[in-house]
Chains A and B, each alone.
Chain A
Amino acid sequence: MSAPTRVLVIAHGHPDLSAGGGEVAAWNQHRALAASEDFSSVFLARHDDPSRRHGGTPFSGTNRPDEILFHATMPDWFRFSQPDGALVWRDFRDALDTVRPDIVHFHHYVHLGLELLREVKNRCPDTPILMTLHEYFAICHNHGQMMKRHDDVPCERATATDCARCFPERTRQDFALREGFIKSHLDLVDRFIAPSRFLARRYVEWGIDAARIEVIENLLAPSPPATGDRPASSQARLRDGEPMRFAFFGQVNHFKGVELLLDAAALLPEALRRRCRFDVHGSGLERQPRALRERIGARVDALGAQARLHGAYRPAAINAMMHEADWMIVPSRWWENSPVVILEARRAGLPVICADIGGMAEKIDAEVTGLHFRANQASSLAARLRKAIIGGEPMRRAFAERMAASGDPAGDLERHLAVHRERLRNGAIDGEMGEAIAGPTSQRQAA
């Protein structure tokens, strides 16, 4: 047998240091490749922790043999351009020379710089480049969220004119140049992977050839903890008289909609509210603006014993924590892509109430594996909460069973490996998958 194909997986962060969904997805991809027979994988993750730096090199290690930490900062969040040239043509090139990858798989360019793509093409012209898309950074300058900056509503489409209206400090021409610069680098990518059809569509509408994008769900950790057995989830968990437990998991920031959840809870009639509990398991609140912290604090206080803020959690503990919840709420104000928490909820058999837009609406089938509420509307979310509370344990269980049965992790893994194999066989782009995305859209619109 020939030597396994070596993939260099490049991420904007390491889950040990920053626990965002993109970092986790990238690391899971790396582990999955490493565990497969045909591939070996090296994970290169960017960080900015000076205490992990060595002199004379941006690289350091994690004491794992196949992981590289890459110290880089990228202050240009408009063009995603790396100002330190030597970091690219000297240091990153050194890493390419040492790793000698057969495939390079980018999970991001933020924090790193788009120039890394070009360096791969310059240094190893025959090495195919794959890129998994997270968020909408290339399309939208507003933190890649595709939200209107001033009136805080989801944005349908980015054009230079519209973007300049969101950012009056920049001109239309700035945005046109930005788009051209980003696309000139993304053109070097041989194949994009989109974790949701919705996200793929957005990139196609922005101008990426549909034939270059494949929709494959993100991977979860290859071996879930032993407590994560599926049957447990569908067993009766609620005994009479116990409150219904609604939980939020993830980062706490404005876009994630924790406020909206607490507002909806407050809108429930007193009698119903007494029959449920709201647990917010969220990290990063301390880094949020003071006003948001105060608003969330005040709402939690007002709900009294019915709501609790739990702070950050250990990623390894999430399965056990999901087993202690009855419904998960994904109240995001923005489109989302493919939230990792929804994959984790699937694994734990936890039904979901989420907003009816974008990636989350795509992942949760309304009235099958969960409930949809009208995005950004607390009253609509309150109505769904009410339905879940009144439906009680029998309804929850039916949803939980369907949730546990949804998804196809084994197939997703196989599709991921296949896209890597296919890249090796054939550098050219074929068009099969493209049609699926470019076909009639069925996206649900925000109110």
Chain B
Amino acid sequence: MPHRTRLGRRLLGALRRGIGEKRLARYRRRLDALALRLAERTVRLVRRVRGRPSLRLSSVVCIDENSGARVVYGTVDPGSRSLEHLQALDASGRDRLTEAAMHRWPNTVRSPGASPRCERFAMRIEERAVTFVRATDARGRACRRRIPVASTGAAFTRIRDLLEPLRRVSDKRCLHERVTGPAIERVMASRTASRGGAVSVWNAQHQHDHPRTTLIIPIHGRHDFIEHQLARFANDAELLDQDILYVIDDPRLHPAVIADCERWSHLYRVPFRTLCLHENLGYAGANNVAAAIARGRYLLLLNSDVMPIEPGWLGRMHDSAGDRIDDALVGARLLYDDGTVQHDGMRFFRSPFHEGLWLNLHPGKGLPESLFPTAPQALSREAVTAACLLLSRKRWDQLGGLDERYVLGDFEDSDLCLKARAAGLPVLLCTNARLQHLERQSQSLDGADAWREELTWYNGWQHATRWQDELTELDTRRAALATDPESS
């Protein structure tokens, strides 16, 4: 501290005469902070030189306010010996962490001065009583750090904070199994439990008394697609007998959408309703809430960026399944604007780039539509996308709707298809219901692409863990077909 040395005092005296007291105080604070950091660094350096373990906690995310459960991320440098323990301690010094709730991995992102033996770690702490993390080396030398206050906030913010440190981790599967997976599940569960029931519905003038199908169209981020859809629905007589339900899953959009509803109702004369959710429920939640107030005997899950190309598509989807319509999940052929196929059914793919995780593949994606066969009868598929998916209300209820454990719209559709397969229901694709899909234009996650990838990984892990056996069996069956393609 400069003012405690003689040089410092003399310097201060000289400065005081030249600079104002206020500015000087600011300089002093800065100097003090600098000195403090230097001291800390020196301590760390000295400790390393002496070979003691050192510990740094980089972020703490709250996963449950009631129990005080948290996830702690940090870096541990074992010093000269190997690391013996990494413990979570309560005030009395008792270890409260079981091995299963922690994962360590090599620190591949080297900060300057970090030892090559440095490791990163994530631990899931269940109890509020835990206040310290302690690293102990083989000689019993230890380093202890108090756990800082956990960051809280909206569920998605917390999930982002949980996923962001995973960006360069190579064994994500293990990390999800032990730490982040159960943590995100907890966040999602508490979110579903605290869901407010407050919703409001706006009805257009022209409602049909006995609609056959309810179209459920969630809106998030962008709402200009609504008018594009209504303009096309209005030219298709079949759509005028249905129940079209827009679910505004984005409270920011309510005023703008409601302001336009009256105009759209007069102009397009389409029987639509607008359901405003007062908090963002995510894709699965929005669909599930909407299904509860659906008036049709059938449900058509539809993305807002899917645009019909020609009239009659909904009827063809119904007809293509024939007498299986009450049991089947029926998807549609979705096209890009350049005349190629976006979706013609999905199949599962064990990705070597994602630790062998099962991902959804769209076979033939981006290839010209003319290469794909068309038939009035629906064709069997492993899974179909929920961007346009028809099923009966009865089967929807039986399957329990979309699983809300997936975060932000990924894998819910293939999960639903796998549930249907497990229940013995057919999963079909109607090749002559052709719609245009703008794909991903409807989701605007502001500059969040980096963690979006982590999110896909997490959702994929959830999905693969849940359906491991079914996916393996499907793969075996497909491999058998591939060796004898003529039999397909």
Segment of A95-103, A155-163, A290-298, A385-393 in the binding face: A95-103
User: Does A263 belong to the interface (CB within 8 Å)?
Assistant: no
Q: How far is the CB of A50 from chain B (nearest CB, A)?
A: 14
Q: How far is the CA of A54 from the CA of B368 in the complex (A)?
A: 13
Note all chain B residues with C-beta closer than 8 A to A52: 338
- Taking a contact as CB atoms closer than 8 A, the residue among A59, A63, A64, A90 that contacts B366 in the complex is A59
Minimum-distance CB pairs A-B, first 8: A59-B366, A61-B338, A61-B340, A65-B370, A57-B366, A57-B365, A61-B339, A98-B364
Docked complex: A59-103 residues within 8 A CB-CB of B: 59-68, 86, 90, 94-95, 97-99
A67 to B338, CA, bound (A): 10
A54 adjacent to B363 (CB under 8 Å): no
Given contacts A63-B339, A65-B339, contact A54 B366 (CB under 8 A): yes
Q: Does B129 contact A (CB under 8 A)?
A: no
Taking A54-B439, A61-B336, A61-B340 as contacts, is the C-beta distance between A86 and B365 under 8 angstroms? no
Cα A90 to Cα B362 with chains together (Å): 11
- Kindly provide the distance from the CB of A71 to the nearest chain B CB, expressed in whole angstroms: 9
8 Å CB contact of A60 from B340, B369, B370, B440: B340
Residue B202 at the A interface, CB < 8 A? Answer: no
Residue-wise interface mask of A (354-384) relative to B, using a CB-CB cutoff of 8 A (1 in contact, 0 not): 0000000000000000000000000000000
Check: B289 CB closer than 8 A to any chain A CB.
no
Please give the number of chain B residues whose Cβ is less than 8 angstroms from any Cβ of chain A in the complex: 20
Which of under 10, 10 to 19, 20 to 34, or 35 or more describes the interface residues of A?
20 to 34
Contact at B339–A64, with CB atoms within 8 Å?
Answer: yes
Asked whether A60 lies within 8 Å of B362 as measured between CB atoms, the reply is no
A55 within 8 A of B: yes
From A55, A56, A57, A65, B368 is in contact (CB under 8 Å) with A65
What mask results when residues 367 to 385 of chain B are scored 1 for a CB within 8 Å of chain A, else 0?
1111110000000000000
Q: How far is the CA of A173 from the CA of B306 in the complex (A)?
A: 56
- A58 in the interface (beta carbon within 8 A): yes
Q: Is B342's beta carbon under 8 Å from chain A?
A: yes
Assuming the A-B contacts A61-B336, A64-B339, are A56 and B365 also in contact, with contact meaning beta carbons closer than 8 angstroms in the complex?
A: yes
The one of A60, A86, A97 that contacts B336, using a Cβ cutoff of 8 Å: A60
* Contact B338–A66 (Cβ < 8 Å): no
Q: Are B368 and A61 in contact (CB under 8 A)?
A: yes
Chain A residues, CB < 8 A from B362: 56-57
Residue of A at shortest CB range from B370? Answer: A65
Indicate if the CB atoms of A67 and B368 lie closer than 8 Å.
yes
A to B CB contacts below 8 Å, 6 in the list: A54-B439, A56-B362, A61-B338, A63-B338, A64-B339, A66-B368
Residues of A within 8 A of B439 (CB): 54-55
CB within 8 Å for A86 and B440 given contacts A62-B338, A98-B372: no
B79 to chain A, nearest CB (A): 41
Q: Which of chain B's residues have a CB closer than 8 A to the CB of A94?
A: 363-365, 367
Q: A54-B336, A55-B439, A61-B339 are in contact. Are A66 and B365 (CB under 8 A)?
A: no
Among B338, B339, B340, B363, point to the contact of A97 (Cβ < 8 A): B363
Given contacts A42-B371, A65-B339, A98-B371, contact A60 B366 (CB under 8 A): yes
Q: Residue among B339, B353, B363, B440 with the most chain A CB within 10 A?
A: B339
A52 to B342, CA, bound (A): 14
CB-based contact A95/B353 at 8 Å: no
Report the nearest A residue to B485, measured CB to CB.
A97
* Interface residues in B329-362 (C-beta closer than 8 Å to A): 336, 338-340, 342, 349, 353, 362
A54 touches B339 (CB 8 A): no
Residue of A56, A61, A68 with highest tally of chain B CB at under 10 A: A61
Closest B residue by C-beta to A95: B367
List, in ascending order, chain B residues with CB within 8 A of A55's CB: 439-440
Cα distance, A56 to B366, chains bound together (Å): 9
- List chain A residues, Cβ under 8 A from B342: 54
- Given A56-B362, A57-B362, A86-B353, do A98 and B367 touch, yes or no (CB 8 Å)? yes
Give CA–CA (A62, B370) in the complex, Å.
12
Q: Which of A65, A98, A99 has the most CB of B within 10 A?
A: A98
B residues 419-460 with Cβ under 8 Å of A?
Answer: 439-440
A61 lies within 8 A of B366 (CB): yes
What's the least CB distance linking B196 to chain A, in Å? 34
**Given the complex of chains A and B, what is the CA–CA distance between A219 and B370 in angstroms?**
26
What separation, in Å, do the CA atoms of A151 and B193 have in the docked complex? Answer: 78
Bound-state CA distance A90–B349 (Å) is 10
Q: Across the interface, which residues of A come within 8 angstroms of B338, CB to CB? A: 52, 60-63
| A92 to B371 CA separation, bound complex (whole angstroms) | 15
Write out the residue numbers on chain A whose beta carbons fall within 8 Å of the beta carbon of B364: 94, 97-98
A-B contact sample (14 more), CB < 8 A, given A94-B364, A99-B371:
A54-B340, A55-B440, A59-B366, A61-B336, A62-B338, A63-B338, A64-B339, A67-B368, A68-B368, A90-B349, A94-B363, A95-B367, A97-B364, A99-B367
Residue among A56, A58, A65 with max Cβ neighbours from chain B (10 Å): A56
**Counting chain B CB atoms within 10 Å of each CB, which of A54, A66, A94, A99 scores highest?**
A54
- Bound-complex Cα distance A327 to B409 (A): 65
- A58 cross-chain contacts in B, Cβ below 8 A: 366
CB-CB under 8 A from A65, the residues of chain B are 339, 368-370
Residue of A nearest to B366 (CB): A59
Which residues of B sit under 8 angstroms from A86, Cβ to Cβ? 353
Mask: chain A, 396-420; 1 = CB below 8 Å from B; 0 = not: 0000000000000000000000000
Identify the closest chain A residue to B342 (Cβ): A54
Interface centre among B338, B340, B365, B368 (most CB of A within 10 A): B368
With a cutoff of 8 Å between Cβ atoms, the chain B residues found around residue A56 in the complex are: 362, 365
Nearest CB of B to A54, in Å: 5
Point out the residues of chain B lying under 8 angstroms from A57, CB to CB.
362, 365-366
Q: How far does the Cβ of A7 sit from chain B's closest Cβ, in whole Å?
A: 13
B353 → chain A, closest Cβ, in Å? 7
* Chain A residues in 8 Å Cβ range of B339: 61-65
CB distance from A399 to the nearest CB of B (A): 45
